[in-house]
Structure 1
Amino acid sequence: MSIIDDIKTKAEIVQIVSPYVTLQQTGKNLKGLCPFHSEKTPSFFISPERQTWRCFGACSDGGDIISFMMKIENKEFAETIQSLANTLGIDNQLNIQKDISKNSELFEINELAANFFSNLLESQEGNTGREYLIERGLNTKTIKQFKLGLSPKQPTALIEYFRSINIPGSMLAQVGLASENQKVFRDFFSNRIMFPIQNPKNKIIGFGGRSLNNNGPKYLNTPTTSIFDKKSTLYAYNHIGRLLASNQPIIIVEGYMDAITAHQHGYDNVVASLGTSITKQHLSQLKKVSKKIIQALDPDQAGQNATLRSLESTYSIFEEGYLGQRKEIELHIASLPANEDPDSLIRNNGAKWKSTLDQSLPFIEFLINGIGTLFVMNTSNDKTKIAEKLLPFIAHTRNSFEQEKYFTSLAKKLNVKEQTLKVSIHNISNSKTRPKNNTLQPSKMVLKQTDIRSTYYLEDYLTALLIQRPELKEQYFKLDISQFTSIENKELLLSWEKANCEITNLKTPSIALKEHLEYIKSINLHKISNSSSLPTFRIISGRLSEQHLRNTQELLLSSTDNLEPLPTKLESQIISVNEQLRNIMYKDKDLNK
C-alpha cells in the first residue's frame, strides 16, 4: 500500500476536521461554518461515508483529507503528507522530509537574502532607495508587507555575507542570486530596489530588481530556477487572501509597483504578470479565486502589433482550456487613460481607476471598439483583414445572444451587411476540425473496478488516459479537475501540465507523488486502441461528472433537513444540479441510440 493510501485508510475525516470546524449532524453527513471564508449560514459539509469535504459557499471547493489539511495549514503536498504520516503514526519509509529538504534549503536562502536586502534598505546606505520608494508613494507598512529591500552596490557583497554563514556562491547560483563566470561568482543584482516574489504558500521563490542608476535593464528578474519560473508566477497572488469575495474580479497589471500601489490603496484583488502574457499556469491559479479576469492595458501599448498578439495569445489560453466549461471564466480588458499606468492612476485619481475597471469590456467587444486604433481601416482590403482577424473569435462565442450582438457591432464598424459576416462565420464554423465520431458504447468498454483503487477508479483511469496517451493532451484543458476528490491526481496532473503535458519531462515534486505516478503508469490501457481513446475518455469523464453531481446532490439534499421553506440560494443550487444531471442522462441516451 502506498503512503498516500495508507494515510487515507488510517485517517478519519471527522476527527481531522473537528479541531477546525464545529460540526453538526445533518442526515448521514455533517455540516458547519466553512473555515476558509466568513459566513453565518453553514455551507461546509463532510461526508464520512466518502471521506470527503465540500464547501457550497464562496469557496466552491472540496476534496479529501489531504487537500483539507493542505488548505487549512497552508502547506505544500509533500509537507502535508509528512505531517499526516507523523500524526497517524505511519512508518514513513519513503522519508519524504529528505525529498523536500532541498527546496526548503533554497527557500531559506531566498528568505535570508530578502532579510539582507531589507536591512540594507533600512540602513544609512539605503537612503537613496528609501527616497525612491517614498517618491513612488509607498508607506512604511507597505514596504514591510511586501518585504522590499535594496541590493548593495558592491559586486560581491551578498556572496560575502553568505560565505560568512557557510553558504557557498554555488548555492546562491542555484536560486539565481549569483552568476558564475570562469568559476568566479558575482552578485546577480546590484544597486537595485528588490522585490521578493512569493508563491501562494508565501515562500520566496525569486526576486525582481529595479535599477537605481539606470545601469543595465530597468527591471531584472531572477532567471528560471528549480523553484522559480516566470511563466507560472503571478506577483502578489499570495496577498489576495482566501477571504476574497466570490464575485470580485482579479485585476492583472504588468509591473511590481502597479500591484503594490493597488494593494496599498485597498485593491487586494490585483496581481502582476511580470511582463508576460497570461499563461495556462497563470489561469490554473486565477480560476481558483475568481470567474472574471480584467487585464489592465497601458494606453501607450494600444495599437501596437506586439500588444495585439499578446491579447490574442491570452484569449487563446482562455478558449483552449477554460471557456465553455461549466464554470466559465470571463476575460475583460480595461484600457487606461493616456499617459497613465495603474500605479500613477491609482495615486493621482482613484475614482478614475475605479471607473476604468467598471467600464472594462469583454475581449471581443474591446477588439471591435478598437477598430481604427488597434486595426487600420483605410481600404476595403483592410476591412477584409479585420473581418478575418475577428470572426474566428466571434465563431468561438458560446452564447448565441452575445454572438448576435458582436455581429451587429462589427457590421456597423465595418459598414457592411450582417448577412455578409454571417456567411463568413458559417464557413469558419464548418471548417473547424472535429474528432471523428467513433462512438464507443459504454457497455462495450472494459473497465474493471478491481484493477485500480476502488474509491477513485474513475479519476485514476482518466489520469492514466491523459498521461499515457499523448493524443488526449488537448482534452486535459477541457476537463474540470475540480470534480476530482483525490488530491494526488490533481497534484500529478498539475505537475504534468507544468511539464508541457509530456510524460518524459514530468518531474514529481515529492517521493509520495512519484510513487503514485508509477501506479498511474501501471494501469493497463492496452485494450484501448488509438481510435477509441477519445470516446473512452469522453465516457469516463461523463461518468465522473455524473458521480460528482450525484454526490453534490446528496450533500445538498441532506442540508434541507428541517428547512421550510428552502433558502433561495440552496433551492437554486439543487435545481442547477438536477438540470445538469438531466443533461448528462440525455447524452447517455444519445450514445446508446
Structure 2
Amino acid sequence: MARIPEHEVERLKREVSVQRLAETRGIRFTRHGADLIGKCPFHDDKTPSLVITPSKNLWHCLGACNAGGSPIDWVMRAEGVSFRHAVELLKADHLPLAASPIQPVKQSTVRKLPAPVEREADDRVLLLQVVDYYHDTLKQSPEALKYLQSRGLQSPEMIEHFKLGFANRTLGYRLPAKNRAAGAQMRGRLQELGIYRESGHEHFNGSVVIPVFDAAGAVVEMYGRKITPRLREGTPDHLYLPGAHRGVWNEEALQASKDIILCEALIDALTFWCAGFRQVTASYGVNGFTGDHRRAFQQHGTERVYIAYDRDEAGEKAAAELAAELIEMGLECFRVQFPKGMDANEYARKVTPAAKSLAVLLNKAEWLGNGKRPEPRIESIVIEPVSEDVALEIEPEP
C-alpha cells in the first residue's frame, strides 16, 4: 500500500489547530502559562486534565486516558478511525462545525467522506464513477505523480485523455459503513466488478490505474501498476480486472491510422503516445494479444503493424509468433528492435528526446514479410532526427 507522503502528514500537523478541533466539541479552556487546560472529552473527567500546548499544536490527557499527540491523533480518537482515514477527514475538512459531545464511537456512526459512487448506479455507471474517483485521486497524489514522472509519463494531456488514476485505499472511507446494509451491498457489487476482493481490500490498492474503454465509452478493462518498488514477496507488480481480458486500449488509434504500433504493455504504449506517436495500442502482456485485438484490426482495416515488444527472450518469442499470425491475416509486419534486454519505456528514458530516438527505431524496424522491404510510413512529429549511432548502439546497464 502506498504510504501517505510525509510532507502531507507534517502539513496537517502544522496547519490544523488541535485547539480548534477541541473547541468544536464544546470544550472550554482556561490558560495556564503557555498551555490551555480543559476537561478531557475521552473519559468522565471531573477535574480538568486535558492540556493543549498551542505553540507546539499538541494535546495530552493527564488523567485516565494518558493519551495525546497531534491533530491527527485527536481525530483518530474522536472519530474512532484509522490514521489514514483521519488524514482523509482532515484533508477534506470533514469535521464537526458545531459543538457536539464525544460519545463512545460505534462503527455505524463514524463520519464518512462524500461518496463518489451512487447506490442506484448500474454496473456501467458504477465502474465509470470508480474510474473518475481514481482519476481525481491521482491528480492529488504526489507519490503517484512522482512515479509517472520517473517513467517519463508526466504529460497532463495523457493523464486527462486516458483517465489515468490511482488506487490508495481511500475509496472504502467514502462508502457507507460495511456493517450497514447499504455498505455491504455496495461492497458486494464492487467485488462482483473486480474492484474489491473477498478480503475487503481494493484490488488495485497501491497502483496507478489505466482504464480501457470500448467505443461506447464503457469501462471494459482496467490495468494496475504498483508504484512501490519493494513489495512483499509474491505481490504482483501488474494487475488486471479478474476474468478474461476485454477491449482494446486506445482503439481510436485504429480508426485514425492504418499503421499501428503494438506494444507488449500499456506503460510502453503510453511512452510512444507521449513521444507523439498516437497510432499505438498494446497487448495485455507478452501473451495478451486477444480476440478483441484481432477483431479490431480487421474491423478498422489495419494494414501494417510495428511490433514493439520487449527485447528479451519472452518478447522475442511472442513477437515472432504474433507476426506469423498477423501475416496470415494479411497484415504487413515490422519488428521494432530495442537494444537487448530493453523495453520501449526504458529505452525512451535512456535515449532522449524520446520522440526522436523512437522515430529512428521505427524507421529502422526489421521487415518480417517476404520480398522487398517496404518503406516505413509511420507518421512522426520529429523534424530533426537523432543520430542513429546514438539511438541504436546504446546498451542497457548491467
What TM-score results when the alignment is normalised by the length of structure 1?
A: 0.37
> Are 2:276 and 1:266 aligned?
yes
- Within the candidate set 234, 239, 251, 1:237 is matched to 251
Map of 2:220 onto structure 1: 205
How many angstroms apart in 2 are the aligned matches of 1:158 and 1:256? Answer: 29
Map of 1:278 onto structure 2: 289
Cα shift at 1:309: 4.1
Q: Is the 8 A contact 1:152 1:158 kept in 2?
A: no
Map of 1:334 onto structure 2: 336
Percent identity, aligned pairs only?
18
> Are 2:366 and 1:361 aligned?
yes
- Within the candidate set 314, 326, 335, 2:322 is matched to 314
Cα shift at 1:339: 5.5
How many angstroms apart in 2 are the aligned matches of 1:132 and 1:345? Answer: 17
How many angstroms apart in 2 are the aligned matches of 1:187 and 1:202? Answer: 23
Instruction: Give the direction of change, closer, same or farther, for the CA distance of 1:313–1:353 in structure 2 (3 Å limit).
Output: same
How many angstroms apart in 1 are the aligned matches of 2:177 and 2:226? Answer: 21
> Are 2:127 and 1:110 aligned?
yes
Map of 1:141 onto structure 2: 157
SS for the counterpart of 1:250 is: strand
Q: Deviations over 1:265-292 (max 9, x none)?
A: 2211010112034344312212314201
Q: Deviations over 1:327-354 (max 9, x none)?
A: xx11221111245422243452432211
How many angstroms apart in 2 are the aligned matches of 1:105 and 1:120? Answer: 22
How many matched pairs?
241
SS for the counterpart of 2:212 is: strand
Q: Deviations over 1:141-172 (max 9, x none)?
A: 22111111111246944765998789622211
Q: Is the 8 A contact 1:252 1:271 kept in 2?
A: yes
How many angstroms apart in 1 are the aligned matches of 2:157 and 2:130? Answer: 20
Runs of 5+ consecutive residues of structure 1 not aligned to the other structure: 1-103, 324-328, 365-396, 403-593
How many angstroms apart in 1 are the aligned matches of 2:177 and 2:220? Answer: 20
For 1:25-44, what aligned pairs fall within 5 Å after superposition?
A: none
How many angstroms apart in 1 are the aligned matches of 2:221 and 2:324? Answer: 28
For 1:338-417, what aligned pairs fall within 5 Å after superposition?
A: 338=340, 340-347=342-349, 348=352, 349-363=354-368
Map of 1:170 onto structure 2: 188
Q: Is the 8 A contact 2:309 2:316 kept in 1?
A: no
Instruction: Give the direction of change, closer, same or farther, for the CA distance of 1:155–1:120 in structure 2 (3 Å limit).
Output: closer
Instruction: Give the direction of change, closer, same or farther, for the CA distance of 1:128–1:203 in structure 2 (3 Å limit).
Output: same
Q: Deviations over 1:423-468 (max 9, x none)?
A: xxxxxxxxxxxxxxxxxxxxxxxxxxxxxxxxxxxxxxxxxxxxxx
> Are 2:259 and 1:249 aligned?
yes
Instruction: Give the direction of change, closer, same or farther, for the CA distance of 1:262–1:128 in structure 2 (3 Å limit).
Output: same
Runs of 5+ consecutive residues of structure 2 not aligned to the other structure: 1-120, 373-398
Q: Is the 8 A contact 2:248 2:293 kept in 1?
A: yes
Q: Deviations over 1:14-44 (max 9, x none)?
A: xxxxxxxxxxxxxxxxxxxxxxxxxxxxxxx
Instruction: Give the direction of change, closer, same or farther, for the CA distance of 1:147–1:167 in structure 2 (3 Å limit).
Output: farther
Instruction: Give the direction of change, closer, same or farther, for the CA distance of 1:157–1:331 in structure 2 (3 Å limit).
Output: farther
- Within the candidate set 197, 217, 224, 2:236 is matched to 217
- Within the candidate set 173, 198, 215, 1:180 is matched to 198
Q: Is the 8 A contact 2:166 2:208 kept in 1?
A: yes
The structure with the largest helix share of the pair is 1
Q: Which runs of 4+ in 1 moved over 6 A?
A: 161-166
How many angstroms apart in 2 are the aligned matches of 1:160 and 1:319? Answer: 53
Q: Is the 8 A contact 2:169 2:202 kept in 1?
A: no
How many angstroms apart in 2 are the aligned matches of 1:150 and 1:177? Answer: 13
Letter in 2 for 1:261: T
